[in-house]
Chain A
Amino acid sequence: MSHSFQTKVQARSAAEKEPSTQPDFIQVRDFNFYYDGHKQVLFDLNLDIPKQKVTAFIGPSGCGKSTLLRNINRMNDLIDGIRHEGDITIDGHSIFDPLLEVISLRKRIGMVFQKSNPFPKSIYENIVYSLRVAGRNRKAELDEVVERSLRGAALWEEVKDRLQESAFGLSGGQMQRLCIARAIANRPEILLMDEPCSALDPIATGKVENLIHELKKEFTIVIVTHNMQQAARVSDRTAFFYLGKLIEYDETEKIFMNPGNPQTEAYVSGRFG
């Protein structure tokens, strides 16, 4: 899993760093982030995210948890006027390396969005999109990936007979699981989930949560959620953000049972936010 990013300094990086086995897979170091050049939204974040665990980001709206999540695969690059200080590394490699090909970064990080966003294509083509854009078009391989991904997203039994039909014909919960299947199709190492269940009913939410339990055997999952019970149910570690600052970050059990910070306690017990 720990092949280096396909940067133009690939050879150098590989020579300097041994493949790491450290548990802190994603490291956020002294990270500050600004919109419009000066409006600071993240303040001095330091955070280590372990491998093959589920890490939840919680906090009231506007606390910066989504912004941090979207920095991990550099989705914020799309926005004009952003600026950052500090660094984020994955497996020891900086994602802000000026020579890094951002596409190769995103190939190794799947992402599931708050609002399910299937492409206007068939179910099959949705899943294989990430392979096709990488130039992998072999039918046998694609077929195998479709089945594996849909099984991985617990959707295979429901859609196996209509793979060539529009993705828009699925229900809301199925669409979101399709997006998850799409995100894991190319076997990424990290799966970013930005409030994946906020638009789903409780039954669909339950299915996605079960899925997260399954997926963490294979992927490092970072999930942003507004739902406290969900964070408690699915995550191993929880980070509580408030006004762009990391207030507390610990084992999920500790955050919810015995928080070290009064603000955290107020938030998880529902007294504000």
Chain B
Amino acid sequence: MSSTQPFEKNVRPAGEVWVWITGVGLAIGLFMICFLLAVIAWNGLNFFWPKPLAEISLTEDGRSDFRGERTVPGVIIQRRTLTAENLSPSDADLLDLARDNRDFMREMMIFTGNRDLFATNNFAFLNMGEITSVEFPRELIRIERTEWGDAIGRPLELRFADGRVLGADDPAFVSTLRDQVDEVRDRRREIIRIERRQMGRINALINREELEIRYLRSLAEPSDAQRRELEDRLVRVAELREELGPLTAASRILRDQQNQVRLAFEVVGGHTQVQPLGDIINFYFPNKMSLFQRIGWFFWKVWEFLSEYPREANTEGGIFPALFGTFVMTVLMSLAVTPFGVLAAVYLREYAKQGPLVSAVRISINNLAGVPAIVFGVFGLGFFIHEVGAVIDQVFYPRMVAINTPVFGTGGILWASLTLALMTVPVVIVATEEALAAVSRGVREGSLACGASKWQTIQRLVLPAASPGILTGLILAMARGAGEVAPLLLVGVMALAPSLPIDSMFPFVHLDRKFMHLGFHIYIVALHSPDTEATKPLVFASTLVLILMVIVLNLAAILIRNHLRRKLESAAF
């Protein structure tokens, strides 16, 4: 036997437990992120998928909202089990019924549509015990309308203005309906073009004149020049109104044409509805669709959601203005925050003498990043709007101040962007400082030894070398700024803005305009719409778009950064 001490047996390796605990921590974090994204993606995308239409038959003596109706059309949303605790007292007899048939303790939630007919909130709960059958007839049609939401029914016939009637059993029915709806859609676009673009432009000019007129009229003792100006402006308004005349007539003719053809359909239960085509946006037969048609429909709906204006108080239609507003605001914010943050960081890192004062400034900047967002909103309101905006108005728009119609002295996209820029500037400063510090001393000394001044060194070598890091800071700033809602509430966001911040009206970019924002849109749709159950899918879809938009903005910045990095490594500039 050897006399040396044997090594200790490895019973419980030191530190092993901590490996597991830290690993579990990471796993939980990753799981939560994936779960969050999955929930939003599933619910958001599900909104666009064409769902089968059911025809649900009920027993004669049912207790549902449809007592008296024998069949109900709808999209099955979910099934759920009732518990004795959450039964309302009037439904207490269900417990007895359930003893024989467990189905009485289960409920089916359906989307009924046909809001104009049923006067319900689009949704209904049916007791499963009272359901006799659920069928999916192929001929059921779902009609998207400009008012009253979707309609679901069985098409009967098309009624033309000249009294001609085309029955649903005619082989040409679907294609004729499609043609007619397309025609209506083209005409609707034309109406929008006339009313929103041409008439909108004239109306905007009239509004401007009328504000001036209001001011001139408000004067107690107008001078001769002002009197003359008032008359001129009144003449101008009259001229503009005359220009409106033919446009109004044109749009009225189109509008009349819109409702010449009508579609009759039978809502299950026997009601016949006659729907003027003018209100129909689109229609489809989900039960007849093949898989490819469904996929095509899905992408079409996604595109519609992104490109259309909202309808019916944000409960239907698309989110284009909110998307656009968020995008413009984020870009304006980036334009404001980058030079400001980079210059501040260059001074702090390159020029300021490092000492207690600079350290204090640096700590303050870091703390600024932790200030609650709403505080910046209050600052934006108090400083940008009430101070800066008021001064701008007094200098450039004194007449608007006199009649109490502030231009920049009220919330707008400029102030919102600057407020967010202020909120995110610490992120840019910190990232830029780190990037500057990472530029090697050797390069700086080499440059100085070549006879470059300090600024030349910074401008020609240090900033280009630091640009990937600076962009990383901008990415973080954008990620924080694009999704922030709280400060915007105070500085110019709107649930429904009448116009976009950028359009074809001179001067094209309207920094004083109020705007829509996706984050705020989500909040409004989720909590402030007449039927929050109906808008739930909309909320998920909007959230998904917001997340995707932040990802796309970040991705763009990352691509630019990587491009710069490659350029730096291959030194092509």
Contact = CB atoms under 8 A, between A and B. Distances in A.
Interface of A: 73, 75, 78, 80, 103-104, 106-107, 109-111, 113, 115, 117-122, 125, 129-130, 132-134, 164-169, 179, 182-183, 186
Contacts of A166: 569-572
A117 B444 CA distance: 9
Contacts of B448: 75, 78, 106
Nearest to B453: A103
Contact of A120 (B450, B452, B465): B465
Contact of A110 (B447, B449, B572): B449
A167 B571 contact: yes
Contact of B452 (A104, A110, A117, A129): A129
Interface of B: 353-354, 440, 442-453, 456, 460-461, 464-465, 568-573
8 contacts: A103-B452, A119-B571, A120-B461, A122-B572, A133-B453, A133-B460, A134-B451, A166-B569
A129 B571 contact: no
A71 to B, nearest CB: 13
Contacts of B569: 120, 166, 168
B363 to A, nearest CB: 21
Nearest to A122: B571
B492 to A, nearest CB: 42
Contact of B450 (A121, A129, A169): A129
A103 B449 contact: no
Contacts of A164: 572
B445 A107 contact: no
Given A106-B448, A132-B460, A133-B451, 6 more contacts: A73-B449, A78-B444, A107-B451, A119-B571, A120-B461, A165-B571
A182 B450 contact: yes
Nearest to A186: B451
Contacts of A121: 571, 573
A104 B443 CA distance: 19
Interface centre among B447, B450, B465 (most CB of A within 10 A): B450
A130 B573 contact: no
Contacts of A80: 353-354
A16 B573 CA distance: 46
B468 to A, nearest CB: 11
A196 to B, nearest CB: 13
A111 B449 contact: yes
Nearest to B442: A117
Contacts of B354: 80
Contacts of A134: 451
Contact of B442 (A109, A115, A165, A186): A115
Contacts of B447: 119, 129, 133
A37 to B, nearest CB: 15
**Which of A106, A118, A165 counts the most B-chain CB atoms under 10 A from its CB?**
A106
A141 to B, nearest CB: 16
Contacts of A165: 570-571
A75 B449 contact: yes
Given A120-B464, A121-B573, A133 B449 contact: no
A106 B450 contact: yes
B451 A103 contact: yes
A165 B451 CA distance: 24
Contact of A125 (B449, B465, B571): B571
Contacts of B570: 165-166, 168-169
B450 A133 contact: yes
A132 B446 CA distance: 14
Contact of A186 (B450, B465, B572): B450
Nearest to B571: A166
A132 B573 CA distance: 13
Nearest to A128: B450
Closest 10 CB pairs of A and B: A117-B442, A166-B571, A107-B451, A111-B449, A130-B450, A133-B452, A117-B446, A166-B570, A106-B451, A121-B571
Given A80-B353, A121-B571, A166-B572, A113 B442 contact: yes
Contacts of A122: 571-572
A78 B448 CA distance: 10
A109 B445 CA distance: 13
Contact of B446 (A103, A109, A179): A179
A121 to B, nearest CB: 5
Contacts of B573: 121
Which one of B445, B456, B569, B571 has the highest number of Cβ atoms from chain A below 10 Å of its Cβ?
B571
A240 B158 CA distance: 108
A63 B299 CA distance: 75
A134 B447 CA distance: 12
A107 B452 CA distance: 8
Contacts of A110: 449
Contacts of B571: 119-122, 125, 165-168
B553 to A, nearest CB: 27
